[in-house]
Amino acid sequence: MASRIPAAVLAATGSVGQRFIQLLDGHPWFEVVAVTGSERSAGAYYGEACHWVLPEPMPEWAKRLKVTATEELDMDLPLIFSALPASVARTAEPEFARRHAVVCSNASAFRMDPYVPILLPEVNPDHITVLDRQRQVHGWKGAIVTNSNCTSTGMTVALKALQEQFGLRKVLAVSMQAISGAGYPGVASLDILDNVIPYIAGEEEKVEAESCKMLGHVAEGQIRPAEFQVSAHTNRVAVSDGHLVCLSVELERQASVEEAGLALQAYQAPEPSRDLPSAPCPVIAVRSEPDRPQPRLDRMAGRGMTTTVGRLRPDPLFHLKMVVLSHNTIRGAAGGSIYNAELLYSLGILG
Amino acid sequence: MASRIPAAVLAATGSVGQRFIQLLDGHPWFEVVAVTGSERSAGAYYGEACHWVLPEPMPEWAKRLKVTATEELDMDLPLIFSALPASVARTAEPEFARRHAVVCSNASAFRMDPYVPILLPEVNPDHITVLDRQRQVHGWKGAIVTNSNCTSTGMTVALKALQEQFGLRKVLAVSMQAISGAGYPGVASLDILDNVIPYIAGEEEKVEAESCKMLGHVAEGQIRPAEFQVSAHTNRVAVSDGHLVCLSVELERQASVEEAGLALQAYQAPEPSRDLPSAPCPVIAVRSEPDRPQPRLDRMAGRGMTTTVGRLRPDPLFHLKMVVLSHNTIRGAAGGSIYNAELLYSLGILG
Amino acid sequence: MASRIPAAVLAATGSVGQRFIQLLDGHPWFEVVAVTGSERSAGAYYGEACHWVLPEPMPEWAKRLKVTATEELDMDLPLIFSALPASVARTAEPEFARRHAVVCSNASAFRMDPYVPILLPEVNPDHITVLDRQRQVHGWKGAIVTNSNCTSTGMTVALKALQEQFGLRKVLAVSMQAISGAGYPGVASLDILDNVIPYIAGEEEKVEAESCKMLGHVAEGQIRPAEFQVSAHTNRVAVSDGHLVCLSVELERQASVEEAGLALQAYQAPEPSRDLPSAPCPVIAVRSEPDRPQPRLDRMAGRGMTTTVGRLRPDPLFHLKMVVLSHNTIRGAAGGSIYNAELLYSLGILG
Amino acid sequence: MASRIPAAVLAATGSVGQRFIQLLDGHPWFEVVAVTGSERSAGAYYGEACHWVLPEPMPEWAKRLKVTATEELDMDLPLIFSALPASVARTAEPEFARRHAVVCSNASAFRMDPYVPILLPEVNPDHITVLDRQRQVHGWKGAIVTNSNCTSTGMTVALKALQEQFGLRKVLAVSMQAISGAGYPGVASLDILDNVIPYIAGEEEKVEAESCKMLGHVAEGQIRPAEFQVSAHTNRVAVSDGHLVCLSVELERQASVEEAGLALQAYQAPEPSRDLPSAPCPVIAVRSEPDRPQPRLDRMAGRGMTTTVGRLRPDPLFHLKMVVLSHNTIRGAAGGSIYNAELLYSLGILG
């Protein structure tokens, strides 16, 4: 693995940053050579600076990396994974894109830029074609590619399979989201034990906008959002990992439960995204038991990259009801960014 | 309190039965003189037969009641509170109604009978007028009055306030329900710790049918369900008490968030239901904080009888989104049945 | 209640501070007229500055109090309840004691000062006699009286009853502590969901030292700790309120389980502490069920002031094993400080 | 793997039974060819009869096994893994041992028989030498070998390392045990959410007796328990998997924290147990962080077979305090039985 592409992880000490480190351990194409953290942790070894919250042990190589401040990172790295908060990402990520780095970002800062794809390789790899215009418009030699909000991810994968076959008109989505989605320390235990918090700041707006953008198309070098309507309610529940979403969907062309099940089950990632190291297998797992998916039992399907759909049934108001589960820090965050980088690499855009 | 009406609690050792006992402790009008339980517990004192799961201590008088089998209960009691499972209620409750007892039931067995009201005193006290036909049709001297499914309760109270002012067209409801709703032992801890179960058998059908019936009207001695459409997703979460429901509502006449908030806040119980001992005060509490209601903080509003509504906001698909909370074993079960009995008593129907 | 003693609550916006406000609502002797908070919240109304985490609603009068910075508080108030962190308490509390205020403190800063009582009115009201020397030594006109660490509290009450009858030689204590003991936001939810944290910084040392001090005696104007030995293991578990402690106890004079049970059950607070508004009733509740006390079921015994003891049984190594439960933010924190103030008031030391 | 030893799993549909199935998937030496269950499930396919509660998916081969009643199982299988409840094991397991089967049992029924080893291969493989006498005394051609109670397991591994170097005199153990230890459905969610249950029926007696037996020696064909004294408190907490035990230990020869840490870290399984497929690697992981081990982070150490020890520190009463963690359904149950079978196989006792 001598010739792996050197990469940095920004905000590597946080909970999504840790997932990047854990998932990149032994990656065949990418090698983490630098990690950044807050000023407080800059200068320390990652093994000391990081309060590791994952059950998987911290890789030995990671312990020995020196944490640098994000603004002091070597600017010539070709690949940047960003777990920065949006406010910091807004100024820091373009610094890297301006040089020749490709930034695979988990931050929301540039997601709604019409020249920046919110990329799900199994859904919209064609959105990569906007990168040329992105470079022109922003004057970047590199690029920024984002992954979606962790709640939008799973539902968009499921909706794509339905959109392709039947078209989409209306989507009502109600999430029950894991605490790891709020980072670390994140949600206070007093707020979530024996409780539900029916509010996550900014989340409903993201879900409503991002799913339409991801399911849209590229025209004149821009991403044009799809025109179906989305309404989202987002809630925090006492689950460690795995976002569950109840969906009510109205299609353009009505489908039976059986037809929808077949469409979901048969859905395949477009060609360039299929055989990448992080590609989900299957893309969508359809469960027929009455009480699945469940976060504790299904979040690790396909090593955390598969979207699980269950409880497909008719909806008295719309056409279909279903429940979708996706691992929020793997498919919905770090794993998604890595999958994006793999797609870019396989297409020759990176490195 | 010498002349209180003697009452029995059926299935008094279960979790809803325990709430009946706890809430009837010191009741000004009703006195529990008999409790029934399974054959296994028959003959034992309630204090021994019952695995008490409430934080409030078991009342001393209750400890000394002898548990009898339901079928051996004195048939001449005027008031029966039933926490029986539906399958048992179907045959046992009519036995009491046939004599002169008024059965205030938490069971679902007769809820969809057009001559049996699903009674929420703050919503539909006029449904009591079907009792005459009920007696004729079924040949009963007493009566059966049910309270609604615990999930339907809070949302129906909120919907009533909107229906009255603006009319209702469509309702999409997604619940996050407490484990106490499943009785004791009920949900296995392995199934709910770090998890959500996106399925509760029979619950979605109940929510869809009961809310329409409760918001319907009486015509020709029958209850005719209201004609708006309801779609429900029901989920179990790791909360002890308090069912939370995310609602998306389409009205007949569009209302702004402010108008809806005022309608909810101003809603009062119809006259006969207002000053009863268990009447909620207020009927609806409207919270303006962005993150309320929450089960742990708001379930005991109005001693567990108030319905709390929050997060009123526009819905991109329908008109309004909101979150509703109701205590499932108080307002949604035992407390609701007691409130029903109080209404019947105050109207001279009971005793 | 026109002539109630005016009191301030320091650090009133935190979780213990909130308990002070909630428990002092309607207090017959004390009236909260001032609250302090961090610089960030100074100047705002308490109703806005405080993220209220208690199920009991915030009292209306509290909402309208202006939060001041602790150092700008009126120095002439006779009664100060302190929920300050130890580091701040160390300098701030003597400022008030220097004037004529009596500071009833929940902070650990002065607990190990031999002239400052760690006061449990039902255990060691005689320790108040050191206050004269306290004033001399420290040059204060007022006084500082502390309550104990929340984990030491319940076990010390139980140990007192045994010490009085049988003497104490060795105590091994293993706690399972509620998250509210760490304040708000306190424990991160990711750290405690589906987990136990077998460590609480500084806690074991406090438990080992404070219980001996509280069970000690006054000699030559100082408090001399009792001489039995204590070893503590402290753990954090996913419980909202209520600290559970497993105790193994070696007595000076061996007692049977029955004798110990009688001693615990018969224990009464010394005369001056018996009829105060916050006095626990009973002081100790002894449960005979095999599986009690439990935090969810027993923490509110005696309105949160009673210590519950159960599972009394022989210990193969020592003499007795038992389990002790105490509400950590009521008896173990705010309620304890208020009880202390009541004792001082009733003895004419305050106001 | 054509020549793997055919094995049956008794009570395969329960939670420990499921762990047997999951851990035996792809086992190099043993092949599950039969599974037994309750009469209710007999005749059905395992895939249908079993309510699978593990996050790892059910192996395909297991789905296609027919469940038989335990008493109808083919008696000529050489290897039986038993997850039977003790009451059933008492009569069923000897039936198999009477023929030539080796029963590796998780049940407590025969653990205290002086001719039946409670076997931990990394601790007491020499206890296997009692099997000859077992066969004589009981008239069996096969054998019964048990693994210990899930709570005794981890602490006994740690105590063994200390016993070998320093001798043991007194052990006080306080457990915080996972809900999976109670099987499925096991602990009711209402009993453990926001709660601790300070009692597990029969558990303390098992911990006190089994740890002494396992650390004893063989003399005259019997196992003689070690003579140190143990006192146990056992508690159930809201953790899915992983039993945590706080230990206070008095040694025969006092050891410093450093010496004890080295002894634990250096501990190796005796020769015959070292390189077996399920051998823990390392046997004991010693953590130096102040707040480890934690169930969520450390239970899967060594694929769930490693014992993790942390918080080594002096004990004011005894010599040492520490915290021990062990995965209760892997090392403490199914994985332990499989490890036992591997040891027996490698020694030529089986098959």
The tens digit of pLDDT for each residue in C72-82 reads 998 789 999 99
Nearest CA in chain D to C233: D246
Nearest CA in chain A to C236: A189
Long-range CB contacts (within 8 A, 24+) of D226-229: D226/D163, D226/D168, D228/D163, D228/D168, D228/D169, D228/D170, D228/D171, D229/C316, D229/C317, D229/D169, D229/D170, D229/D171
d(CA B154, CA B149): 10
**Nearest C-alpha neighbor of B12 from the set B229, D184, C251, B61:** B61
Dump strand ranges (E) for chain B. 5-10, 30-37, 67-69, 79-82, 102-105, 143-146, 168-177, 217-219, 222-224, 229-236, 243-251, 284-286, 307-314, 320-326
DSSP for C220-274, written as a single string: TTEEEPP--EEEEEEEE-S-SS-EEEEEEEEESS---HHHHHHHHHH----GGGT
Inform me whether the pLDDT recorded for A244 exceeds 80. Answer: yes
Averaged pLDDT for residues B316-345:
98
- Which residues in chain A are contacts of C186 at CB distance < 8 A? 188-190
The pair phi, psi for residue B117, each rounded to 5°, is -70, 140
User: Going by DSSP bridges, is the β-strand pair D307-314/D284-286 parallel, antiparallel, or unpaired?
Assistant: parallel
- Which residues in chain D are contacts of C294 at CB distance < 8 A? 195-198
Nearest CA in chain B to D236: B189
Say which DSSP state A330 is in. Answer: I
Q: Tell me how many residue pairs between chain B and chain D have CB atoms under 8 A apart.
A: 62
Question: Which member of B150, B212, B319, B327 is catalytic?
Answer: B150
Task: Give the strands of the sheet with D143-146, arranged side by side.
Answer: D67-69, D30-37, D5-10, D79-82, D102-105, D143-146
Q: Based on the domain organization, do C277 and C177 belong to the same domain?
A: yes
d(CA A36, CA C242): 41
Q: Based on the domain organization, do C29 and C107 belong to the same domain?
A: yes
Q: Based on the domain organization, do A35 and A110 belong to the same domain?
A: yes
Averaged pLDDT for residues C277-304:
97
B249, B315 contact by CB (below 8 A): yes
* A118-164 per-position pLDDT tens digit: 999 999 999 999 999 999 999 999 999 999 999 999 999 999 999 99
H helix intervals, A99-149: 131-138
* C54-63 per-position pLDDT tens digit: 999 999 999 9
Q: Based on the domain organization, do C296 and C199 belong to the same domain?
A: yes
What does the pLDDT profile of chain D (351 residues) look like in tens digits? 458 999 999 999 999 999 999 999 999 999 999 999 988 899 999 999 999 999 999 999 999 999 999 989 987 899 999 999 999 999 999 999 998 999 999 999 999 999 999 999 999 999 999 999 999 999 999 999 999 999 999 999 999 999 999 999 999 999 999 999 999 999 999 999 999 999 999 999 999 999 999 999 999 999 999 999 999 999 999 999 999 999 999 999 999 999 999 999 999 999 999 999 999 999 999 999 999 999 999 999 999 999 999 999 999 999 999 999 999 999 999 999 999 999 999 999 986
> How does residue C239 score in pLDDT terms, banded at 50, 70 and 90?
very high
Q: Cα A330 to the chain's mean position, in Å?
A: 7
Inform me whether the pLDDT recorded for A1 exceeds 50. Answer: no
Q: Which pLDDT score, from 0 to 100, does residue A43 have?
A: 95
Inform me whether the pLDDT recorded for C1 exceeds 50. Answer: no
d(CA D35, CA D23): 14
- Which residues in chain A are contacts of B170 at CB distance < 8 A? 317
Q: Based on the domain organization, do D142 and D213 belong to the same domain?
A: no
Q: Residue C47's CB: how many other CB atoms inside 10 A?
A: 15
Question: What b/e readout covers B134-160, taking b as 16+ CB neighbours within 10 angstroms?
Answer: beeebebebbbbbbbbbbbbbbbbbbb
Q: State pTM to two decimals.
A: 0.97
Averaged pLDDT for residues A87-114:
96
Residue C88 lies in a domain: yes
B34 touches chain A (CB under 8 A): no
B246, A198 contact by CB (below 8 A): yes
**Contact call for A233 and B321, based on CB within 8 A:** yes
The domain containing residue C23 runs over which residues?
5-149+334-346
Compare CB distances from A196 to B201, B239, B317 and report the shortest one's residue. Answer: B239
Interhelix angle for A203-214 vs A150-166, to 10°? 40
Q: Where residue D38 sits, what CATH number does that domain have?
A: 3.40.50.720
Q: Residue B114's CB: how many other CB atoms inside 10 A?
A: 18
Q: What percent of chain D has pLDDT over 70?
A: 99
d(CA A286, CA A294): 12
For residue A144, give Cα distances in angstroms to A111, A334, C177, D279. 9, 15, 47, 47
User: Going by DSSP bridges, is the β-strand pair B307-314/B284-286 parallel, antiparallel, or unpaired?
Assistant: parallel
D278 touches chain C (CB under 8 A): no
Termini Cα distance of chain B: 15
* C154-213 per-position pLDDT tens digit: 999 999 999 999 999 999 999 999 999 999 999 999 999 999 999 999 999 999 999 999
Question: Which member of D150, D212, D319, D327 is catalytic?
Answer: D150
d(CA C344, CA A200): 47
User: Going by DSSP bridges, is the β-strand pair C30-37/B5-10 parallel, antiparallel, or unpaired?
Assistant: unpaired
Compare CB distances from B199 to A174, A193, A311 and report the shortest one's residue. Answer: A311
Q: Where residue A167 sits, what CATH number does that domain have?
A: 3.30.360.10
- Nearest chain A Cα distance for residue C78, angstroms: 33
User: Going by DSSP bridges, is the β-strand pair C143-146/D102-105 parallel, antiparallel, or unpaired?
Assistant: unpaired
d(CA A268, CA D351): 47
Q: Which two tokens stand for residue C160?
A: 């007192």
Q: Based on the domain organization, do D210 and D271 belong to the same domain?
A: yes
3-state secondary structure of D320: strand
Residue D260 lies in a domain: yes
D186, B193 contact by CB (below 8 A): no
Task: For chain A, give the mean pLDDT.
Answer: 96
H helix intervals, D172-300: 189-192, 203-214, 257-266, 295-298
**Nearest C-alpha neighbor of A247 from the set A330, A151, A333, A149:** A151
Interhelix angle for A150-166 vs A257-266, to 10°? 110
Q: Based on the domain organization, do C125 and C184 belong to the same domain?
A: no
> How does residue A351 score in pLDDT terms, banded at 50, 70 and 90?
low
Q: Which two tokens stand for residue C140?
A: 């204060």
B237 touches chain A (CB under 8 A): yes
Q: Based on the domain organization, do D215 and D123 belong to the same domain?
A: no
Inform me whether the pLDDT recorded for A2 exceeds 60. Answer: no
- Which residues in chain C are contacts of B240 at CB distance < 8 A? 296
**Nearest C-alpha neighbor of A68 from the set A145, A13, A15:** A13
B322 touches chain D (CB under 8 A): no
Counting the structural domains of chain A, the total is 2
3-state secondary structure of C60: helix
D246 noted as active-site residue: no
Instruction: Examine the predicted complex and report whether its ipTM is higher than 0.85.
Output: yes
Residue B272 lies in a domain: yes
Inform me whether the pLDDT recorded for C38 exceeds 90. Answer: no
Residue A20 lies in a domain: yes
Neighbours of chain B (3+ CB pairs under 8 A): A, C, D
A245, A328 contact by CB (below 8 A): no
**Nearest C-alpha neighbor of A31 from the set A58, A50, A8:** A8
- Nearest chain A Cα distance for residue C192, angstroms: 7
**Contact call for A194 and B238, based on CB within 8 A:** yes
Residue B351 lies in a domain: no
**Contact call for B230 and A317, based on CB within 8 A:** yes
Q: Residue C189's CB: how many other CB atoms inside 10 A?
A: 29
Residue D298 lies in a domain: yes
Q: Based on the domain organization, do A100 and A72 belong to the same domain?
A: yes
* B268-309 per-position pLDDT tens digit: 999 999 999 999 999 999 999 999 999 999 999 999 999 999
Q: What percent of chain B has pLDDT over 70?
A: 99
Question: What b/e readout covers A107-130, taking b as 16+ CB neighbours within 10 angstroms?
Answer: bbbbbbbbbbbbbbbbbbbebbeb
Compare CB distances from C194 to B193, B297, B300 and report the shortest one's residue. Answer: B193
Residue C351 lies in a domain: no
- Which residues in chain C are contacts of A189 at CB distance < 8 A? 179, 186-189, 191-193, 238
Compare CB distances from D239 to C195, C201, C297 and report the shortest one's residue. Answer: C195
Q: Which helix (H) or strand (E) holds C175?
A: strand C168-177
A237 touches chain B (CB under 8 A): yes
Q: Which residues contact D311 (CB under 8 A, 6 or more apart)?
A: C198, C199, D290, D291, D292, D321, D322, D323
Q: Cα B316 to the chain's mean position, in Å?
A: 32
A218 touches chain C (CB under 8 A): no
Question: Which member of A127, A243, A319, A327 is catalytic?
Answer: A243
Nearest CA in chain A to B289: A199
A191 touches chain C (CB under 8 A): yes
C79, C102 contact by CB (below 8 A): yes
**Contact call for B318 and A194, based on CB within 8 A:** no
**Contact call for B189 and D194, based on CB within 8 A:** no
B240 touches chain C (CB under 8 A): yes
Compare CB distances from A55 to D54, D193, D300 and report the shortest one's residue. Answer: D300
Q: Which residues contact C261 (CB under 8 A, 6 or more apart)?
A: C286, C312
User: Going by DSSP bridges, is the β-strand pair D243-251/D320-326 parallel, antiparallel, or unpaired?
Assistant: antiparallel
CA dihedral D189, B151, A178, D300 (to 10 degrees): 20
DSSP for D271-307, written as a single string: GGGTTSTT--SSSEEEP-STT---HHHHTTGGGGT-E
d(CA B233, CA B172): 8
Residue of C297, C306, C330 to mutate, interface with B, max B Cβ within 10 Å: C297
A294 touches chain D (CB under 8 A): no
Q: Residue B95's CB: how many other CB atoms inside 10 A?
A: 15
**Contact call for C296 and B194, based on CB within 8 A:** no
B323 touches chain A (CB under 8 A): yes
d(CA B60, CA B43): 18
Inform me whether the pLDDT recorded for B1 exceeds 70. Answer: no
Q: Which two tokens stand for residue A306?
A: 């598969």
- Residues of C belonging to the active site: 150, 243
Compare CB distances from D194 to A54, A194, A298 and report the shortest one's residue. Answer: A194
Q: Which two tokens stand for residue A77?
A: 């790295």
Q: Based on the domain organization, do B257 and B226 belong to the same domain?
A: yes
Q: Which pLDDT score, from 0 to 100, does residue C2 have?
A: 55
Residue of C227, C317, C326 to mutate, interface with D, max D Cβ within 10 Å: C317
Q: Based on the domain organization, do B308 and B176 belong to the same domain?
A: yes
A200 touches chain C (CB under 8 A): no
Range in B1-15, B199-213, C142-156, C239-253 the model is least confident about: B1-15
Q: Which two tokens stand for residue A297?
A: 């039992």
Residue with tokens 């005259």: D220
Q: Based on the domain organization, do A213 and A274 belong to the same domain?
A: yes
A88 touches chain D (CB under 8 A): no
Neighbours of chain D (3+ CB pairs under 8 A): A, B, C
Residue B322 lies in a domain: yes
> How does residue A76 score in pLDDT terms, banded at 50, 70 and 90?
confident
Q: Which residues contact D91 (CB under 8 A, 6 or more apart)?
A: none
